[in-house]
Structure 1
Amino acid sequence: MHHLNSLEKRSAVALALVFSSRMLGLFMLLPVFALYGRELTGFSPLWIGLAIGAYGLTQAILQIPLGWLSDRIGRHKVMLGGLALFALGSVVAALADSVYMVTLGRVLQGAGAIAGAVLALAADLTRDEQRPKVMAIIGASIGLSFALAMVLGPLLAKWTGLSGVFWATAVLACAAMLLVAFVVPKSVSKAPMAETLALPQSLGAMLKHRQLLQLDMGVMLLHLMLTAMFVVLPSLLQNYGMQPVKHWQFYLPVLLGSFVLMIPMMIIAMRKSQEKGFFLLAVALLITAMLIVLLLPGFITLTLAVVLFFIGFNFLEASLPALVSRIAPAGQRGSAMGIYSSSQFFGAFLGGAAGGAVVQHFGYQALFAVLAVIGLIWLAVASTLSIPPRAQRLSLAVSVQTEHQANQLAAQLTALAGVQEVTLLLAEQRCYLKVSSAQFDTAQAQAVIAAAGA
């Protein structure tokens, strides 16, 4: 957190706690529902998948609209409302005696789609040059909450049953509401909207952008595979003689080991400029994991498969949003990330629903065969991905009155050394640049802007 000021440090920690406490509640269901949900009326593999993935559907639908709403009525109001819905859904699921009511609770949980508002507030409260650090802290907190959920979920379910997991989730949501109300700083300014929130006029262009669509499809398939795997993984562990209360002893070393093994991949990929090669390797690891479970049944091979899966998963989970941010056109990162997030949650829904349906009708071997085929399709698509060089993003205020003036200024800025892209939005009176930091002269760009506004 070096060079963050006191407001940025407070914002980073508070928003990371809000985000991670909510995600912790969502993740805790993954390792336990297939086992403890058997007591519910209507239990079946299909409904396991639907209940696990249901939150992803409403998240995918509401992620962008609630981000827009936060820009209209305020970040805190949307965050408090979303957390209240999340808490309500948790209570509905905790009181449920049927898998159908649990699924309804999960739908309500997903309706509290506050990710866009949280990230927009983080942008509001941070300086441009420090914003990536704050976003990284929030992102890291999600990874930690996943690892913690894999440990706490089985322990909590053993002590309190499935309802206890949902009650704990409701308590976490209420704690997050207190953080928002009393700890999270109020927004003192607004970051440039186009870089933090999806703009309606940009969504169509983002849906036609070939490289971004490849990444959106990638994150959708990644979370489809993760959610589908957890439809059967807890039952497989039990079938191999591991009692549910001890499942954390499987998940913890597997997750820690996969994280440690993933770090060298990240370092080499960045330092040696081999990002695409390691990206493809990570997808190949997912495919290999599915094939090992399918072709080599046994506890040892299952453990190996899950380690390989999470090495690939962790690498891709970190790489995909970074690539989206890099590839997104100047001034349209908010729209690109909005569609990316919606794709991620929609993948979770598809993984639960499709995974449950395949297991119910064809068995778990068929599920891993289908996931291996999906991985192969992704590998083929990813092989055509073109990764651009790293670029710095800048946002500069402008003063232009007409579209003609805006076009003239954009042309002048495009001609400057080191400028890769220029987007000028009249409504915001702001210019967004993607530049090569080694060649670009900020003072020169500011002089051009000043001359245009004179």
Structure 2
Amino acid sequence: MNQLEVRAAGALSLVFALRMLGLFMLLPILALSTEQIDGATPALIGVAMGAYGLSQAVLQIPAGLLSDRIGRKPVIVGGLLIFFAGSLLAASSSSVEALIAGRFLQGAGAIAAAVTALLADLTREENRTKSMAIIGMSIGVSFCTAMVLGPLLNDTFGLSGLFMVSAVMSVLAIGLVIWGVPTPVRQKANRETVTALSSLRQILGHRQLLRLNAGVFILHFILIALFIHLPLALQNLAGLPADQHWWVYLLTMVISFFAMVPFIVVGEKRRMIRTVLQGAILLLLVAQLLIWKSSANLGFLVVSVLLFFMAFNYLEATLPSLVSRIAPAGSRGTAMGAFSTCQFLGAGIGGLVSGYIYQQFGETGIFILVAIATALWWLLSVTMNNPPYVSSLVMDLYPVVPSEASRVSDGIATVTGVREVSLAVEEQTAYLKVDRQQLDEQHLRQFGDW
């Protein structure tokens, strides 16, 4: 990666991390704040927890499409300003309704698609996967950091102070976008990184992608349900004061982060991703059972939470990579857009449903709810095909006229290691699925470069 690419990846990763940190810090805190907020009930706290997911699910694809028309940076800065406004509204709220409105507004600043597209504009094809991985890591680190910082900052500044910290972070992110992120000379029409409405129907009807979309929906549904119950269990059942919750999250997050790595390596090297994925879903189910049964014992509860996050972190890292592999050539951007929408929708609906269930039926109701959802996901995973061990490649074609498109496409398809070809003559681009271990690059470069 050259200096510009490193600068772009680093700055945009930090932008992502600052925004997600502001969202995630509230997860371990909101369930404990019922008595501090006028009109709050467990059901309405659940709505407040998931509100950001609903607005983000609705707006992230439209925001990405808008960035194609007016530019990436205006959409990103605009989204961060909306997030800033939502944080201020939530910080000044004295009622649960105002808190919900603030959380909804935070999510409305949906910048994920525009940030991804801007990174694609600023990086070369051979370095794009590395750049996307840096952003993915920054989101994971921000989640882990938020679980620790949330309880610590809440103890010092209170709930309104947490929202003010989120507002400050959004201002820092705006400064990074304006002065830290390079401005691309031109926007690239790359179907591997942006959503194409023409492909959306095909993606939504793809059975294997539907299983992954359902999986990420359930995963984030379960995550929000966990934080409806877990902070209260730590405080009221296990006897751990709220200002000490941080060490539970620090311990479980750090250990689980490293514990998932061997499973990723085994799944990749031995081509056992499907098997390891099914095992992780079962571990998720077992961990939830243990959390339910061990809530009154702090030691057992911490171990149960550790098992939960081992499974969660593995699945959170693996599902997007499976979407990239399974998505048809030239449709990865659309597939990831649908996948992210389901992810945020799961968080939103998870808050709505689990808050109500907790209010009506308590922790037993929460466990039954998430156990059914996880079991359904496991059944879906059993019927999933083995994923192809391929990667995407976007190739700039040597000049091709429409009448030669079929011949060029057939020629590329004969190259050793090429598994799928999608030619976009109007873009002078070929979108490929390739087996990197077998790819004959010298032969492929007869048709174009990357």
Q: Is the 8 A contact 2:234 2:295 kept in 1?
A: no
Within 1, Cα distance between the matches of 2:406 and 2:196? Answer: 20
Note the 1:14-413 alignment, pairs <5 A: 14-239=11-236, 240-298=238-296, 299-398=298-397, 399-402=399-402, 405-413=404-412
Give the drift of 1:428.
Answer: 2.0
| Distance (whole Å) between structure 1 residues aligned to residue 437 and residue 151 of structure 2 | 51
In structure 1, C-alpha distance between the alignment counterparts of 2:34 and 2:177, rounded to whole Å: 32
Whole-Å separation in 2 of the counterparts to 1:267 and 1:122: 27
Matches of 1:448 and 1:196, distance apart in 2? 22
Task: List gaps (5 residues or longer) in structure 2.
Answer: none
Q: Distance in 1 between matches of 2:109 and 2:155?
A: 28
Per-residue deviation, 1:449: 6.5
The residue type equivalent to 2:105 in the other structure is: L
Q: CA deviation at 1:84?
A: 0.1
Distance in 2 between residues matched to 1:306 and 1:449, nearest whole Å: 50
Q: TM-score, normalised by structure 1?
A: 0.95
From the superposition, tell whether residues 30 and 284 of structure 1 become closer, same or farther in structure 2 (CA, over 3 Å): same
3-state SS of 1:190 partner: coil
Name the CA distance, whole Å, in 2 between partners of 1:318 and 1:438: 23
Task: In structure 1, give the amino acid aligned to 2:424.
Answer: L
Moved more, 93-102 or 428-437: 428-437
Distance 2:122 2:242 in 1: 43
1:429 — aligned with what? 428
**Alpha-carbon displacement from aligned partner over 1:322-354 (angstroms, at most 9, x marks no partner):** 111111111110001000111110010011111
In the alignment, the residues of structure 2 paired with residue 297 and residue 449 of structure 1 have an alpha-carbon distance, to the nearest angstrom, of 60
Deviation string 1:390-448 (CA, Å, 9 cap, x unpaired) is 2232222344443x543343233223332211111233231111122344334433435
Cα shift at 1:105: 0.6
Cα gap change, 1:85/1:442 in structure 2, threshold over 3 Å: closer, same or farther? same
Please tell me the residue identity of whatever aligns with 2:276: F
Deviations 1:208-234 (A, max 9, x none): 111111111111110110011101111
Give, in whole Å, the separation in 2 of the partners of 1:236 and 1:225.
16
Separation of aligned partners in 2, 1:51 and 1:429: 47
Secondary structure of the equivalent of 1:196?
Answer: coil
Contact 1:294 1:369 in 2 (8 A): no
8 Å CA contact 1:290, 1:369 repeated in 2: no
Aligned CA distance change for structure 1 residues 261 and 397 (closer, same or farther; 3 Å): closer
Query: Which moves more between the two structures, 264-273 or 116-125?
Result: 264-273
Q: What is the CA distance between 1:196 and its match in structure 2? A: 0.5
Task: Say which is worse superposed, 181-190 or 109-118, in terms of deviation.
Answer: 181-190
In the alignment, the residues of structure 2 paired with residue 369 and residue 290 of structure 1 have an alpha-carbon distance, to the nearest angstrom, of 10
Name the amino acid aligned to 1:216.
N
1:250-275 deviations in whole A, cap 9, x for unaligned?
Answer: 11101112112212211222222221
The one of 2, 7, 16 equivalent to 1:10 is: 7
Residue 243 and residue 297 in structure 1: after superposition, are their counterparts in 2 closer, same or farther (change >3 A)? closer
Tell me the distance in 2 between the aligned counterparts of 1:53 and 1:264: 32
| Matches of 1:292 and 1:103, distance apart in 2 | 31
Alpha-carbon distance in structure 2 between the residues aligned to 1:389 and 1:5 = 31
Are the equivalent residues in 1 in contact too, given 2:326–2:388 (CA < 8 A)? no
Question: Which is worse superposed, 379-388 or 424-433?
Answer: 424-433
The question of whether the paired residues in 2 share the 8 Å contact of 1:75 and 1:121 is answered with: yes
Is the 1:36–1:157 Cα contact (8 Å) retained in structure 2?
Answer: no
SS at match of 1:91: helix
Whether contact under 8 Å (2:18, 2:170) holds in the other structure is yes
Q: Tell me the percent identity.
A: 46
Distance 2:182 2:88 in 1: 28
In the alignment, the residues of structure 1 paired with residue 386 and residue 66 of structure 2 have an alpha-carbon distance, to the nearest angstrom, of 33
Which amino acid letter does the alignment assign opposite residue 364 of structure 1?
E
Q: Secondary structure at the match of 1:423?
A: strand
Q: Which moved more, 1:191-200 or 1:213-222?
A: 191-200
Paired with 1:168 and 1:418, the residues of 2 have a C-alpha distance of 50
Kindly provide the amino acid, as one letter, of the partner of residue 419 in structure 2: Q
Q: Secondary structure at the match of 1:130?
A: helix
Deviation at 1:21, TM superposition (A): 0.3
Secondary structure of the 1:195 match is: coil
**Is the contact between residue 192 and residue 395 of structure 1 (CA under 8 Å) also seen in structure 2?**
no
Superposition CA RMSD, Å: 1.6
Partner SS, residue 273 of structure 1: coil
- Is the Cα–Cα contact under 8 Å of residues 274 and 387 in structure 2 kept in the other structure? no
CA distance in 2, matches of 1:352, 1:155: 23
Shift of 1:295: 3.3
In structure 1, the gaps of 5 or more residues are none
Shift in Å at residue 192 of structure 1? 4.2
- Letter paired with 1:305: S
Aligned length: 446
Moved more, 180-189 or 341-350: 180-189
